[in-house]
Structure 1
């Protein structure tokens, strides 16, 4: 995978075998989903969880344009479904769930773009943070809305200036509403 990948082990020693397994799963996701920008995987052993058989918990965070998709596979789920769950079971289940989330996200994007302009709203650029990969736009209700550079669907993020007119789709992000599918409004000729 030529995208950034961060693998962390908490409360257990790093394992080259598990790291290789994680890389295989990430490569498979990246091959199927070109919009995958980065991936963070955390494998965590919970302290003496006798009910779960000390099966590690696996967290996968997938970065796609405009948002992060988070997946957790808790050990009790593996214990309920499998006779002898282990770390490989948790990793496999976490990546199956990650695949489902990516598919759902991709389907939602397709659905949004299949109705051009149906939910797009007009706004204008309020602030571009110097040296940052995000900015804020002013909505038609007078509030500011965060957007990431990857949300700009046409044009170049670096060329955006305060006051530029845009159209965007508002979606609920992990930290509140965000602007996605930001596109520069066509300049009016006089």
Structure 2
């Protein structure tokens, strides 16, 4: 169950019980897909439009909160079908965008992401903080991974430089700074871009 109650806002148009019901159903699906969901906010609005457009667009924004990460956002905007008052296309597209992002997060947490090196995943050191004994690695298909001096094999932390390609083993649990690497190994220097 989400820690925060679902928030639904309508801007520039009246609320609709049918649309609210669909939003609640889609948010419930998100929660089943990603049980660690902290909260969800949905905004349905008629954005400002220029005077040259006769058709009124409808915009939907879905913002999902998960622990230790920035909010995951899905947005869509479409022309409103005045005769049907059909907002479902924009709503479904916005929720689909969030679902895809949550699927990627779940794959990363479950380590279902394909390895990028024969004997493990590889990534590039993107930030180093030697005074505080930690840094960050960017790996394809995942968020930046935090790592500490103790995670670097062979006491090689001081050999790391920004841009260096390393072999990583993502940790199963997130740390205080989000996703983390449990193991970092230096690769052959010929693999590191100069």
- Bin of the TM-score, shorter chain as denominator length: 0.5 to 0.7
In the alignment, is the contact (CA less than 8 A) between 1:12 and 1:44 conserved in 2?
yes
Q: Structure 2 matches for 1:19-38, cutoff 5 A?
A: 19-38=20-39
Higher normalized helix content (fraction of residues): 1
What does the per-residue CA deviation read over 1:137-170, in whole Å, with 9 as the maximum and x for residues that have no partner?
xx5344999xxxxxxxxxxxxxxxxxxx997x9x
Distance change (3 Å), C-alpha of 1:52 and 1:30: farther
Structure number having the greater strand percentage:
1
How many pairs align?
140
Q: Measure, in 1, the Cα distance between the counterparts of 2:19 and 2:93.
A: 14
Aligned match of 1:17: 18
Would you say the 8 A contact 1:56–1:86 is kept in 2?
no
Q: Specify which of 167, 177, 180 is matched with residue 178 of structure 2.
A: 180
Structure 1, unpaired ranges of 5+ = 120-138, 146-164, 170-177, 184-190
Check if 1:140 corresponds to 2:130: yes
Name the residue aligned to 1:53: 55
Structure 2 unaligned blocks of 5 or more:
116-120, 123-128, 136-148, 152-167, 169-175, 182-194
Equivalents in 1 of 2:3, 2:132: separation in Å? 37
Give the Cα separation in 1 of the matches to 2:30 and 2:21.
14
TM-score, scaled relative to structure 1: 0.54
Structure having the higher Rg:
2
Distance change in 2, residues 1:179/1:72 (3 Å): same
